[in-house]
Amino acid sequence: MGYMRNKVLIPEVAIAQFAIGDVVRHRIFDFRGVVFDIDPVFSNSDEWYESIPEPVRPSKEQPFYHLFAENADSSYIAYVSQQNLLADDEHGPITHPGIKAVFEGWTGKRYEMKRLMRQ
């Protein structure tokens, strides 16, 4: 919900469970990805949000992750709520072509961000 500070409602912000470079998988759909950016709360278009069927539509008040994602057929960029992600480092690296632009390499558990990107 939130709390009041000087008569202004300040929304609660959930703590991100995943970090940039973590490999994750979707709870429902069959794809994996590497986190390359995090929004503390929903920050996409209302049209995108409304396109999600209401019974499975996630709360906007949670972290959302930008992923270099892949499934058996393709590579793409995904935007996924925290509630729909699970850690997935045991299945090895991701082969998405965007990874090399942001990350130096796979450590065996996660991707390390390029030094130039860390500033």
Report domain extents, the chain: 3-118
Rounded to two decimals, the pTM is 0.85
2, 78, 81: which is closest to 40 by C-alpha? 81
Domain 3-118, classified CATH 3.40.50.880, yes or no = no
Residue 5: pLDDT over 60? no
Selected residue with higher pLDDT from 115 and 109: 109
Under the banding of pLDDT at 50, 70 and 90, the label for residue 116 is: confident
Contact at 8 Å (CB) between 65 and 41?
no
pLDDT in tens, 32-75: 999 999 999 999 999 999 999 998 899 999 999 999 999 999 99
Q: Distance (Å, rounded) from C-alpha 69 to C-alpha 47? A: 21
Q: Distance (Å, rounded) from C-alpha 46 to C-alpha 104? A: 34
